[in-house]
């Protein structure tokens, strides 16, 4: 966690911004809730627990700044709420989301998986891909009573 904060601090510095205590508190909440997809209000309520003096406007401006610097991505799952999602370090493209239409869980796929599709788009459409958003809507493994694919994939990777 500390080394990631250090790197985010450097990112801010190279864009001539400082990691103020309020900004740091916001970054910490994002790191602590890396698997969640928090709205600005969610982030604000969590930051406020540790830094009661902070205001929503400050948190909101920090989130916008982090979005601009590509530390986080702003996403919308169709419910009209902007959510903030940390980008994987070193990832060229944004991760994919699996949204369960039964329980509402959002799972993430960090692997890009789109190599072949991207080749077709770049070649057939003369389109230089910079990023993408991919959201699958369906029924998760939990609601289907199936085993946790993360555990199965870990096992596969070890074998
Ligand atoms: Zn995500
Ligand atoms: Zn990609
Ligand atoms: Zn589900």
CATH superfamily name and code, 92-159: Ferric-uptake regulator, C-terminal dimerisarion domain (3.30.1490.190)
32 CA from centroid of ligand 2 (Å): 26
Reported CATH class of domain 1-90: mainly alpha
CATH topology match: 1-90 vs 92-159: no
Q: What pLDDT, on a 0 to 100 scale, did the predictor assign at position 155?
A: 65
Q: Taking ligand 3, which is a single-atom ion, which protein residues have CB atoms under 5 Å away?
A: 100, 102-103, 140, 142-143
Query: What average pLDDT does range 34-49 have in this prediction?
Result: 95
Ligand closest to 122 (CA) is 2
Euclidean distance between the first and final Cα of the chain, in Å? 29
Q: Where are the domains of the chain?
A: 1-90, 92-159
Q: What pLDDT, on a 0 to 100 scale, did the predictor assign at position 20?
A: 94
Average model confidence (pLDDT) across the chain: 92
Query: What average pLDDT does range 14-41 have in this prediction?
Result: 94
Name the least confident of 31-40, 82-91, 97-106.
Answer: 82-91
Helix axes 56-68, 21-32, angle to 10 degrees: 70
Ligand closest to 94 (CA) is 2
Q: Strands 38-39 and 82-86: what pairing?
A: antiparallel
Read off the pLDDT band of 120 (50, 70, 90). Answer: very high
118 CA from centroid of ligand 2 (Å): 7
- Contact between 35 and 108 under an 8 Å Cβ cutoff? The reply is yes
92 CA from centroid of ligand 3 (Å): 29
Please give the Cα distance from 156 to 97 (Å, whole number): 22
pLDDT tens column, 45-62: 999 999 999 999 999 999
Given a cut of 80, whether residue 87 has pLDDT beyond it is yes
Given a cut of 70, whether residue 159 has pLDDT beyond it is no
Please give the Cα distance from 18 to 20 (Å, whole number): 6
Ligand closest to 131 (CA) is 2
Could you tell me which of 31, 33, 5 has the C-alpha nearest to residue 19?
5
Read off the pLDDT band of 158 (50, 70, 90). Answer: low
- Which residues, in sequence order, are bridge partners of residue 83? 39, 75
Read off the pLDDT band of 17 (50, 70, 90). Answer: very high
């Amino acid at each position: 966690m500390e080394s990631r904060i250090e790197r985010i601090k450097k990112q801010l510095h190279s864009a001539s911004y400082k990691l103020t205590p309020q900004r740091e508190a916001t970054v910490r909440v994002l790191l602590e809730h890396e698997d969640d997809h928090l709205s600005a209000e969610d982030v604000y309520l969590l930051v406020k627990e540790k830094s009661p003096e902070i205001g929503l406007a400050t948190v909101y401006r920090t989130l916008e700044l982090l979005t601009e610097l590509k530390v986080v991505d702003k996403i919308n799952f169709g419910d009209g709420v902007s959510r903030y999602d940390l980008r994987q370090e070193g990832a060229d493209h944004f991760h994919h989301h699996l949204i369960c239409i039964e329980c509402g869980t959002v799972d993430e796929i960090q692997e890009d998986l789109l190599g072949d599709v991207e080749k077709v788009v770049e070649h057939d459409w003369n389109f230089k891909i910079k990023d993408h958003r991919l959201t699958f809507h369906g029924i998760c493994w939990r609601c289907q009573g199936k085993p946790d694919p993360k555990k199965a994939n870990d096992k596969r990777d070890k074998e």
